[in-house]
Structure 1
Amino acid sequence: MPHTDTPHLGQILTVQQMRDAEQALIDAGSSVDALMQIAGRGAADWIWRLSAHRRVTVLCGPGNNGGDGYVIAEAIRERGGHAEVVAPTEPKTDAAKNARALFGGEVLAPDAEAHGDVLVDCLFGSGLTRPLNEEHFALLTRLAGHHRHLVAVDLPSGIQSDSGMLLNEALPHYDLTIALGAWKFAHYLMPAAAKMGRMQLIPIGVDPVEGAAMALQAPVVRAPAPDSHKYRRGLLAVVGGHMPGAALLAAVAAQGAGAGYVKLFAESKRNAPADLVVETGSLNEVLTDDRNSAVLVGPGLGRDGTARERLAVALADPVTAVVDADALVLLSPRSLAERKGETIATPHEGELVALERSFELDGAGSRPDRALALARASGMVVVAKGPDTVIAAPDGRLACAPRATSWLSTAGTGDVLAGVIASRAATGLSAFDAACEGVWLHGEAAHLCGPAFTAGQLAAKVPEALAGHL
């Protein structure tokens, strides 16, 4: 994983893992009430900044998420702000009851006409497994319509934490979501993540959880050693095919992502920039070069007999192989049977389904479940790419990428991603780390582009994205 000074703050926990982590804190001498105060007051800091002394309405449910809401409302009231609570039901847990008793402000009935600038949703948290009932859903949507800004505490109500699925349709869109204790999968998975707006984490002292997924962190990229040369920095071989433009695009992106030497195998040098080496000879000669550090195959490859042959030759090279696009459709367990190097697969949803069929997987479960199942069955690092990209390793490591700009939804950006990942692998990183760094740099390059860019413009921003993490 990329470096962070506090890696455990990037962990992503399931509902059960979060419950166990909180229980561990309680067993160590804390209490539910103490943790609620830490979480609620930490959330109140962010809400106070957003509200800027304007009116705040806190919607409190019956459980501990509602208890967090009472703490938030009291913390704002203590600062001299105006915070009122709307509660459709009385608190049902001891900690929520205690937080309600400590709140010195007004608690309104659900039929009250509450208006304000900020609505804080503390109706239900990460433990929700069924849709909001008609009464609660109507209350949430009515209050959302009467406030300018919406804040969700832990998760928006009506979302399943572990899968990121919407339990109710037409849920509001939030300006800010404040995660409590640790990130949850729904913070990173679609369609839930699209509802959450900006996200902040409030730590409560949770220890690292063994085997937890991680939120992708910004990498720390190191400059080449003073005595480096092009081969020491890494030689990447890119295999072209039926549509030469895709492989050319991937190769250009790879040039800016750290590899010292990118060599494209293609049938023609047409349209290639002067600084890109293009080999038009035998693919066997290109891929038996013992100076190769990594190979990329798939962009524009095609799916005919020639394409199958090129894939087989590429996979015979005992270096890290990045397999993308058409090559993923041709890939099978037999293709990998004699692989000596690591393999990274970069499927979009349709290609992920095709791989699941090839490896006799049922495709059940959440996106992380599916990526992990494929990684374990195939032995590959799997980059399940899309608006909620997930990276899974055969040993069970799992990383979720932050939301990237939706302007990435344009032709050719997947070829750029494959080139960037392959380039990072060529520098000597492990397959998992190369995938993580490549996904991050790809997203960063997209942010640097601004709106409405082409894949070529995205590739041109990769060096700037890399420079930002030296």
Structure 2
Amino acid sequence: MGVETDIASWILTPSDMTAVDRDAATSGLSSFGLMRAAGYAVAASALRHYPAATRFVCLCGVGNNGGDAMIAAEALTGSGADVAVYLMGDRARLAGDAARAFATVPLRSQPLGAYVPAIGDVVIDGLFGAGLSRAVSGALATLMRAVTDLALPVIAIDLPSGVDGRSGQVLGDSFQAAQTVTFMARKPGHLLLPGRTLCGALEVVDIGIPARIIRSHRAPLVENTPALWRDAVKALDPGAHKYRRGHLVVFSGAAASSGAARMSATAGLSAGAGLVTMVAPTEAMPTLAAHLTAVMLKPVDTDAMLSDLIEDTRLNAFVLGPGFGAPERVRRFVAALCDRPLVLDADGITAFREDPQALFDAFRGPVRLVLTPHDGEFSRLFPDLAGDTALSKIDRATMAAARSNAVLILKGPDTVIAEPHGRVAINANAPPWLATAGSGDVLAGIVGAHLAQGMPPFEAAASAVWRHGAAGHEAGEGMTAEDLLRAIRPLPQAS
């Protein structure tokens, strides 16, 4: 029974979890038994973290989260705690297991509007959970703000009420939880922002649903951890000769704007590419030579010189865009590189804002393009997706990857990595101070290094994003992009 180890990184959407609950019930498991297990897990968390609470206040909605909270109230009362129960809405609206919980637990409930938050309360939030689809407003929003203003600890069941489990967005208002207890698997809202910061410490509790049922409903959506790309890392040999560790090419623009490309090239070398060459106009060569030693330099001024360069099949991957400028030149270079592994970043993305389809059409067939947009750059290639407020960040990245036939790194503090065939990873290891000038240039170079070493595009992108986040932690708060370069560490090797 229970959750297998590999399921720990899985993420289920709220609709997937509803299907899991349904199939668990039809398989013969007692749905009320699962509710009791959930409620007792919440009570155990409450007692473990707040043994000195003056009062536990259980706020119950009319759905299953309300039933979970009522069972938690029963367990807390049985432990000797002082407990108060408040119900949102008419008791006649209770149905199924939630109605059974209220019918069998001998505790009186009061209307939610009667609750006056007080110092010493620990609030157990069983109002909405992950399935909220409408904005929180009015008296409930006022209550949430009162609880927040008093800094009362909140233990959320599944997700803090007000957070959309699908997107992580706040619908109107929400609780700020100190602890969140969810069951069997995390939801996107636990990892996407701002939901991640509103959950507090997250506990994932196994309440006894068989792994086979969870597996039958899981989407190809996971947290980005080393387990996702460990097999690709095994294929890398850090002790190999430099020519066997790949040759990365990074394109630079004019001398005055070459700093971003230098960051990418240096990151590529630090991330394990055996050789890195910077390609730039002849006029930029003196500036580059003054700043770089281990990176090789190659002047390219004309299309013929570019053609001569890329005839060399020993060049394994390319990075184009950081500090490049020259949109028309970008488009010519991309056309020449369309059958090679390419990381397109920054100016490389913006160059196609007038005709994104030209870029997408050039990279049909086997996936070999990695796009690394932040939200603004994303809107230049995918304005319709960026403007659709009904789409989550996962939706936008997934649809964009399919449209472009590229691995898409939609950057941010909750970066999402998606590939055209539906695999998606949410990255959660990046510190907030990683948002600094030059950080994206470093990421592009790491992705390029992984591609040059032979990693498949999705694994190259996901491992680079994780490695970038780990370097941010290593560099520490207040870091610069130069600090980030020095903090790049080897990828973890699977045993």
Q: Structure 1 length as normaliser, TM-score?
A: 0.88
1:265 match: 279
For 1:36 and 1:138, how far apart are their aligned partners in 2? 29
1:183 match: 186
1:27 match: 26
1:253 match: 267
* Cα distance, 1:338–1:137 mapped onto 2, change above 3 Å: closer
Are the counterparts in 1 of residues 20 and 214 from structure 2 also a CA contact under 8 Å? yes
1:145 match: 149
Report the alpha carbon displacement of residue 291 of structure 1 after superposing the two structures with TM: 1.4
Q: How does 1:369-384 map to 2 (within 5 A)?
A: 369-384=395-410
Report the alpha carbon displacement of residue 351 of structure 1 after superposing the two structures with TM: 0.9
For 1:172 and 1:463, how far apart are their aligned partners in 2? 38
* SS of residue paired to 2:131: coil
For 1:94 and 1:335, how far apart are their aligned partners in 2? 53
1:174 match: 177
* Cα distance, 1:469–1:416 mapped onto 2, change above 3 Å: farther
Q: Aligned residues: percent identity? A: 33
Are the counterparts in 1 of residues 137 and 172 from structure 2 also a CA contact under 8 Å? no
For 2:243 and 2:82, how far apart are their aligned partners in 1? 64
* SS of residue paired to 2:226: coil
2:223 match: 215
For 2:206 and 2:279, how far apart are their aligned partners in 1? 50
2:94 match: 92
Report the alpha carbon displacement of residue 333 of structure 1 after superposing the two structures with TM: 2.8
For 2:135 and 2:345, how far apart are their aligned partners in 1? 38
Report the alpha carbon displacement of residue 217 of structure 1 after superposing the two structures with TM: 2.0
Question: What residue identity is the alignment partner of 1:250?
Answer: S
Are the counterparts in 2 of residues 119 and 147 from structure 1 also a CA contact under 8 Å? no
Q: 1:427 aligns with which of 439, 446, 453?
A: 453
Report the alpha carbon displacement of residue 162 of structure 1 after superposing the two structures with TM: 1.9
Are the counterparts in 2 of residues 321 and 341 from structure 1 also a CA contact under 8 Å? no
For 1:240 and 1:226, how far apart are their aligned partners in 2? 27
Q: How does 1:346-357 map to 2 (within 5 A)?
A: 346-357=372-383
- Higher alpha-carbon deviation: 331-340 or 445-454: 331-340
Report the alpha carbon displacement of residue 175 of structure 1 after superposing the two structures with TM: 2.4
For 1:184 and 1:144, how far apart are their aligned partners in 2? 24
Are the counterparts in 2 of residues 321 and 342 from structure 1 also a CA contact under 8 Å? yes
* SS of residue paired to 2:408: strand
Are the counterparts in 2 of residues 239 and 310 from structure 1 also a CA contact under 8 Å? no
Report the alpha carbon displacement of residue 101 of structure 1 after superposing the two structures with TM: 4.8
- Within the alignment, does 1:279 sit opposite 2:298 as a pair? yes
Question: What residue identity is the alignment partner of 2:221?
Answer: A
Are the counterparts in 2 of residues 53 and 82 from structure 1 also a CA contact under 8 Å? no
* SS of residue paired to 2:180: strand
Question: What residue identity is the alignment partner of 2:260?
Answer: A
Are the counterparts in 1 of residues 162 and 175 from structure 2 also a CA contact under 8 Å? no
* SS of residue paired to 1:12: coil
Question: What residue identity is the alignment partner of 1:356?
Answer: F
For 1:40 and 1:259, how far apart are their aligned partners in 2? 52
Report the alpha carbon displacement of residue 140 of structure 1 after superposing the two structures with TM: 3.1
Are the counterparts in 2 of residues 129 and 160 from structure 1 also a CA contact under 8 Å? yes
Question: What residue identity is the alignment partner of 2:178?
Answer: D
Which structure shows the higher helix fraction?
2
* SS of residue paired to 1:453: coil
Question: Once the two structures are superposed, what CA deviation does each residue of 1:409-451 show, in whole Å capped at 9, x if it has no partner?
Answer: 2111111111112222222221111111111111121122221
* SS of residue paired to 1:200: strand
- Higher alpha-carbon deviation: 261-270 or 434-443: 261-270
* Cα distance, 1:218–1:76 mapped onto 2, change above 3 Å: farther
1:60 match: 60
Question: What residue identity is the alignment partner of 1:192?
Answer: G
* Cα distance, 1:64–1:288 mapped onto 2, change above 3 Å: same
* SS of residue paired to 1:292: coil
Report the alpha carbon displacement of residue 186 of structure 1 after superposing the two structures with TM: 1.9
* Cα distance, 1:53–1:370 mapped onto 2, change above 3 Å: same
* Cα distance, 1:321–1:114 mapped onto 2, change above 3 Å: same
1:309 match: 332
For 1:164 and 1:297, how far apart are their aligned partners in 2? 32
Q: Structure 2 length as normaliser, TM-score?
A: 0.84
* SS of residue paired to 2:36: helix
**Alignment size in residue pairs:** 461
* SS of residue paired to 2:124: strand
Are the counterparts in 2 of residues 85 and 106 from structure 1 also a CA contact under 8 Å? yes
2:241 match: 229
Report the alpha carbon displacement of residue 223 of structure 1 after superposing the two structures with TM: 7.9
Q: 1:321 aligns with which of 342, 346, 359?
A: 342
Report the alpha carbon displacement of residue 147 of structure 1 after superposing the two structures with TM: 4.6
* Cα distance, 1:39–1:386 mapped onto 2, change above 3 Å: same
* SS of residue paired to 2:409: strand
1:241 match: 253
For 1:75 and 1:432, how far apart are their aligned partners in 2? 46
Gaps of 5+ in 1: none
* SS of residue paired to 1:13: coil
For 1:239 and 1:106, how far apart are their aligned partners in 2? 70
For 1:140 and 1:455, how far apart are their aligned partners in 2? 39
Q: How does 1:34-49 map to 2 (within 5 A)?
A: 34-49=33-48
* Cα distance, 1:270–1:14 mapped onto 2, change above 3 Å: same
